[in-house]
């Protein structure tokens, strides 16, 4: 039995050797005939890689926002809308919102807020203008900021209006000695003691709509002062104290959607239907991004199918020509004992080998293409195993699929007619 098995392997091997030899006889023709497959594989690989890269980037950004967080950003209004808003007594995002959100649902773990303070430090002489943000004590935890040394601003700092600050990684480095814990930074007329330094974040800044990725490398955090007796009605000052954004943390992911709905309704009520805020739910963005990815994948599949179809037809064409050209060889092989199946297998091996080589060349050139794109266009690229294996396998399948008809045609050829061909 093993002898028969060995014989089969030997036979399959010799089919491939024969195929290889006959492809080598027409090197240039073989190359031209697989060009379609090469381009198809290359295109599919480039598309998968760029798609995967873009997906990773977007997902990464969304995940960094925290999938259990809901953000409410302040929105700048046009002059007309501003008048309307004032008539309705809605004054943008305020500490009052923070306070009312906190008790909105038991699923809300904590609420943080940040205010973009239009301040600049004095006399640092470092050439960059840092962003100064005033934040609540839980902000660092909410955004998952990493501390290199010291601590983040805490609740006590907020409530007691301590004059402390936390500096971003790049900024601290630029400040050198002056950027360490215990040193002070002067902002306007006040001196703030550095209590913490953030780890440098090497994620690039990106300003894609909605999904802004933030890094705080050039930021100075100050405590956002929260008065002790914030009442339900609040004084007009509290109402006016404009926040740039509020972060709400939800206990579990399942609660994110219902709470988001709740927040929408509560905000609509308290702001009297004036849309001077944006509610952003990273979990929903993630779902959207994944849905968009699905559409992209579908488009990709269609393009892949079309390009491989075109490539495959090229293979079929050349294989049909080969079969006609090698009628005599088919006749000789039949005369010495080849069955129809043997002949079919031989031609199938040939088209398979052809597309396999095409797939290989396609992957190598796709790899080069991807690197060039990454270098020239600066797109995020992710070369995964799937981006190489999928088009390669598809190419091989196309070889067998489109080689099938010519192979059957060769097999069905009448040996007598084949032998009479000159």
Partner 1 sequence: MLLEVKNLYKSYQLGQNKISILQGVDLSVAEGEFISIMGTSGSGKSTLLHILGGLDTPDKGVYTFSTKNMLSLSDTERSWIRAHWIGFVFQTFDLLPELDVVGNVSLPFLYNRADSEQSVEQVERAIEKVGLTHRRLHRPLELSGGEMQRVAIARALAVQPKLILADEPTGNLDSKNSQIILNLFQELHLAGTTIIMVTHDEKVAAISERTLHMNDGWLQ
The residues of the shown chain that bind partner 1, judged by CB under 8 A, are: 3-4, 6-7, 10-11, 14, 21-22, 25, 328-329, 331-342, 415-416, 419
Residue 10 or 210 with smaller CB distance to partner 1: 10
Residue 182 or 337 with smaller CB distance to partner 1: 337
CA neighbours within 13 Å on the CB side: how many for 217? 12
Short-list 191, 70, 62, 215, CA closest to 133: 215
Ranges of beta strands (E only) in 203-276 are 219-223, 245-250
Residue 252 or 336 with smaller CB distance to partner 1: 336
CB of 415 to partner 1, least distance (A): 5
- Whether 227 contacts 197, CB under 8 Å: no
DSSP state of 199: P
Short-list 203, 205, 207, 196, CA closest to 168: 196
Residue 101 or 407 with smaller CB distance to partner 1: 407
Residues 6+ apart with CB under 8 A from 321: none
CB of 325 to partner 1, least distance (A): 13
Residue 88 or 328 with smaller CB distance to partner 1: 328
- Whether 90 contacts 269, CB under 8 Å: no
CB of 17 to partner 1, least distance (A): 10
Residue 302 or 335 with smaller CB distance to partner 1: 335
CB of 399 to partner 1, least distance (A): 22
User: Phi and psi for 150 in degrees, rounded to 5?
Assistant: 80, -145
CB of 317 to partner 1, least distance (A): 22
- Whether 47 contacts 408, CB under 8 Å: no
Q: Give the β-pairing of 190-198 and 184-187.
A: antiparallel
Residues 6+ apart with CB under 8 A from 231: none
Residues 6+ apart with CB under 8 A from 389: none
Residue 249 or 329 with smaller CB distance to partner 1: 329
- Dihedral of the CA atoms 175, 128, 168, 244 (nearest 10)? 150
CB of 292 to partner 1, least distance (A): 53
CB of 386 to partner 1, least distance (A): 38
Taken in order 242, 243, 244, 250, is the CA torsion positive or negative? negative
Residue 26 or 199 with smaller CB distance to partner 1: 26
Residue 203 or 412 with smaller CB distance to partner 1: 412
CB of 350 to partner 1, least distance (A): 13
- Whether 280 contacts 73, CB under 8 Å: yes
Short-list 145, 138, 112, CA closest to 247: 112
CB of 16 to partner 1, least distance (A): 12
Short-list 233, 284, 319, CA closest to 70: 284
């Amino acid at each position: 039995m093993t002898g028969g098995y060995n014989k089969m392997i030997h036979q399959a091997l010799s089919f491939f050797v024969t195929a290889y030899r006959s492809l080598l006889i027409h090197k240039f023709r073989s190359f031209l005939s697989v060009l379609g497959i090469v381009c198809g594989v290359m295109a599919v690989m480039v598309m998968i890689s760029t798609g995967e890269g873009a997906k990773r980037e977007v997902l990464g950004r969304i995940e960094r926002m925290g999938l259990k967080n809901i953000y409410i950003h302040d929105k700048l209004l046009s002059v007309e809308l501003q008048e309307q808003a004032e008539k309705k007594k809605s004054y943008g995002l305020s500490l009052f919102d923070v306070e009312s959100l906190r008790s909105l649902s038991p699923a809300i773990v904590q609420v943080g807020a940040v205010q973009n303070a239009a301040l600049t430090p004095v006399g640092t002489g470092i050439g960059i203008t840092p962003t100064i943000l005033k934040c609540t004590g839980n902000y660092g935890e909410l955004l998952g900021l990493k501390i290199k040394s010291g601590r983040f601003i805490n609740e006590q700092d907020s409530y007691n209006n301590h004059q402390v600050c936390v500096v971003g990684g790049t900024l601290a480095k630029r400040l050198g000695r002056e950027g360490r814990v215990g040193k002070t930074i002067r902002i306007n007329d006040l001196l703030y003691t550095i209590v913490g330094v953030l780890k440098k974040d090497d994620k690039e800044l990106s300003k894609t709509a909605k999904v802004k990725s933030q890094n705080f490398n050039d930021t100075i955090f100050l405590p956002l002062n929260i008065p002790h007796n914030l009442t339900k009605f609040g004084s007009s000052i509290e109402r006016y104290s404009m926040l740039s954004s509020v972060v709400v943390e939800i206990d579990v992911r399942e609660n994110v959607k219902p709470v988001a709905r709740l927040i929408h309704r509560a905000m609509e009520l308290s702001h009297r239907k004036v849309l001077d805020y944006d509610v952003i739910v990273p979990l929903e963005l993630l779902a959207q991004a994944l849905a968009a990815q699905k559409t992209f994948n579908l488009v990709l599949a269609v393009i892949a199918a079309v390009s491989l179809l075109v490539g495959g037809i090229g293979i079929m064409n050349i294989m049909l020509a080969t079969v006609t050209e090698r009628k005599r060889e088919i006749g000789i092989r039949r005369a010495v004992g080849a069955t129809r199946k043997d002949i079919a297998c031989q031609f199938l091996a040939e088209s398979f080998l052809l597309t396999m080589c095409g797939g290989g060349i396609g992957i190598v050139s796709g790899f080069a293409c991807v690197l060039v794109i990454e270098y020239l266009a600066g797109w995020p690229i992710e070369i995964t195993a799937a981006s190489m294996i999928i088009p390669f396998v598809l190419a091989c399948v196309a070889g067998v699929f489109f080689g099938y008809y010519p192979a059957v045609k060769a097999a069905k050829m009448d040996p007598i007619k084949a032998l009479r061909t000159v």
